[in-house]
């Protein structure tokens, strides 16, 4: 006879406890425990199997395992291919998260259409919309294909049966928090439901070679809702980011077993869906103000792609004892560090100044090569002297004021030259071993003192 077991699970991290607790020992969050009833039955527990029941796997030396090059499937979107590592790997389980209304369902509907138009059978499962609503959204996006199947269901057993009947090569589940396993008594979206449903979909993907895309809801902190185990189970985790007041969206890879996690894809939201942005540097610089103090340009690397971005600073006197430091799109601690370097190495009195630094366009930069541009932007606003609009700054700044070497310098300078920049300030240690592009002056600097004196007259 089945027994009922009551347990409490944390909605944030999945921590389980036999009794309710106010604060989760696993993640430290408060008031996240919910009661779940688990029915315990006797019998063998189903385990994930990579092979059929008739084949028994044996341990094999890794050098004797036969492999062949996995053919990736082109999605029809070059930006998405870049983030996925070159295309979709058959049998991959991909999780896409993002804020409500950011465009997750729109992106996957467009990808489903592109894949189905190439003769691939796609099954789009919606747990949030009826089939008629899904059809209306597809018509708005101009999606129509005989190989694209839509299905509105939240019961995992029925979904499994439908996958067996349709036999698709690709499956989209929108969203994983709405799917429920009939043998799990907790509500859809709970820790147990998300874990069990994801595990079952992972087994389907691996045993049948079907690539499955899961849409995940996010919490108010921006993390994917459900247990952290969800991100560990899938092969790839993508986050769809963007500002509400901007039309473009950024798809960023946070985990990828089949490619780099540094790549980003940029899309523009238009009236009939998402449009790829093949030249993001021009997009981020098209509204740049020339000759404004506090504005500098940096050539940043996002994976294998160089992107030119504007950094803006506003330094103003303060009447308070403790000056304010605010950073948008940058690490706040990095800004504090660079301002301390300016005070110590350049003798600038910034203790009585508020500083506001922003990456224009809502982009987030976290690589060390942006240090020289941020530092120059702060000095430009503090001195009320603009830098030349054709100058570009690349380099990491150390605590003693030295400008340190950065990676992929040739690609960065080539991107700056392509967009019409005339001077590029780079670390002196990056000068040798590559050919400078024509039309741009490459200036090597060893210290911030040397760089700032070349930009400003009164230093």
CB 360 within 8 A of CB 298: no
**Residue 386 pLDDT greater than 70, yes or no:** yes
Distance between CA atoms of 187 and 199, rounded to whole angstroms?
A: 17
Q: Report CA torsion sign: 52, 152, 147, 106.
A: negative
Higher pLDDT, 77 or 44: 77
Which residues share a beta bridge with 447? 402
Is residue 411 pLDDT above 90, yes or no? yes
Which pLDDT band, with edges at 50, 70 and 90, does 279 fall under? confident
Share of the chain above pLDDT 70, in %: 92
Q: How far is CA 345 from CA 9, 132, 163, 335, 452, in A?
A: 53, 66, 65, 15, 12
Question: Torsion angle, CA of 443/444/447/452, rounded to 10 degrees?
Answer: 0
Q: Give the largest CA-CA distance in the chain.
A: 86
b/e 39-61 (16+ beta carbons within 10 angstroms → b): eeeeeeeeeeeeeeeeeeeeeee
Per-residue model confidence (pLDDT) at position 244 = 66
Structure tokens at 221: 């902190």
Read off the pLDDT of residues 294-337 as tens digits, 9 standing for 90 and up: 999 999 998 788 999 999 999 999 988 889 999 999 999 999 99
Phi, psi angle pair for 297, to nearest 5°: -120, 135
Place of tokens 């299905």: 151
First to last CA, the chain: 84
Assess whether pLDDT exceeds 50 at residue 374: yes
So what's the pLDDT on residue 49?
43
Burial 150-184 (b: 16+ CB within 10 A, else e): bbebeebeebeebbeeeebbbbbbbbbbbbbbeeb
CA atoms of 252 and 83, how far apart (whole Å)? 7
- What average pLDDT is seen over the chain? 88
User: Measured between alpha carbons, how far is 146 from 161 in angstroms, rounded to an integer?
Assistant: 20
pLDDT at 227: 63
Strands of 169-243 (E only): list them: 170-174, 211-216, 236-241
pLDDT in tens, 43-66: 544 444 444 444 567 888 988 888
DSSP-derived secondary structure for 242-287: --TTSSEEEEEEEEETTS-SS-EEEEEEETTEEEE-S-HHHHHHTT
Confidence tier at 459 by pLDDT (50, 70, 90): low
1-25: per-residue pLDDT in tens? Answer: 456 678 888 877 778 888 898 998 8
Residue closest to 212 by CA, chosen among 235, 184, 191? 235
pLDDT in tens, 192-235: 888 889 999 999 999 999 999 999 988 766 667 666 778 888 99
User: What order of strands is seen across the sheet that includes strand 391-393?
Assistant: 325-328, 353-359, 305-317, 295-302, 391-393, 423-427, 441-445
Identify the H or E element spanning 322: none
**CB under 8 Å, gap of 24 or more: what pairs does 330-333 form?**
330/357, 330/358, 330/359, 330/364, 330/365, 330/366, 330/370, 330/374, 331/366
pLDDT of residue 14: 74
Output the pTM of the full model.
0.78
Token digits of residue 113: 């259409």
How far, in Å, CA of 294 to CA of 292, rounded?
A: 6
């Amino acid at each position: 006879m089945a027994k009922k077991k009551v347990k409490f699970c944390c909605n944030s991290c999945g921590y389980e406890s036999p009794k309710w607790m106010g604060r989760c020992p696993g993640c430290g969050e408060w008031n996240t425990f919910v009661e779940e009833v688990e029915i315990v039955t006797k019998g063998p527990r189903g385990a994930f199997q990579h092979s059929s029941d008739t084949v028994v796997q044996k341990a094999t030396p890794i050098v004797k395992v036969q492999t062949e090059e996995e053919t990736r499937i082109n999605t029809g979107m070059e930006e998405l291919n870049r983030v996925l590592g070159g295309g979709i790997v058959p049998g991959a389980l991909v999780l896409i998260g993002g804020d409500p209304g950011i465009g997750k369902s729109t992106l996957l509907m467009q990808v489903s259409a592109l894949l189905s138009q190439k003769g691939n059978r796609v099954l789009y499962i919606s747990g949030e919309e009826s089939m008629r609503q899904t059809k209306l959204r597809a018509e708005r996006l101009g999606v129509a294909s005989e190989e694209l199947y839509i299905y509105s269901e939240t019961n995992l057993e029925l979904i499994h049966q439908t996958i067996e009947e349709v036999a698709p090569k690709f499956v989209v589940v929108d969203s994983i928090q709405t799917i429920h396993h009939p043998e799990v008594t907790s509500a859809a979206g709970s820790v147990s439901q998300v874990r069990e449903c994801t595990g079952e979909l992972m087994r389907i993907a691996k045993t049948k070679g079907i690539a499955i895309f899961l849409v995940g809801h996010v919490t108010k902190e921006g993390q994917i809702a459900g247990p952290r185990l969800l991100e560990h189970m899938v092969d790839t985790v993508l986050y769809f980011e963007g500002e509400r007041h901007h039309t473009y969206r950024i798809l960023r890879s946070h985990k990828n077993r089949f490619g780099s996690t540094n790549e980003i894809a940029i899309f523009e939201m238009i009236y009939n869906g998402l449009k790829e942005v093949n030249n993001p540097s021009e997009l981020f610089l098209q509204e740049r103000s020339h000759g404004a103090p506090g504005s500098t340009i940096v050539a940043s690397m996002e994976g294998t792609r160089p992107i030119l971005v504007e950094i803006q600073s506003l330094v103003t006197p303060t009447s308070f004892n403790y000056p304010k430091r605010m950073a948008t799109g940058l690490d706040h601690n990095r800004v504090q560090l660079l301002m301390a370097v300016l005070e110590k190495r350049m003798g600038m009195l910034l203790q009585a100044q508020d500083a506001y630094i922003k990456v224009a366009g809502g982009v987030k930069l976290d690589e060390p090569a942006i240090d020289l541009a941020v530092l120059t932007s702060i000095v430009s606003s503090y001195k009320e002297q603009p830098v030349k609009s054709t100058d570009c700054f690349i380099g990491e700044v150390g605590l003693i004021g030295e400008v340190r070497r950065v990676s992929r310098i040739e690609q960065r300078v080539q991107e700056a030259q392509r967009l019409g920049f005339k001077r590029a300030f780079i670390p002196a240690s990056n000068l040798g071993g590559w050919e400078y592009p024509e039309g741009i002056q490459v200036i090597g600097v060893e210290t911030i003192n040397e760089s700032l004196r070349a930009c400003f007259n009164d230093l």
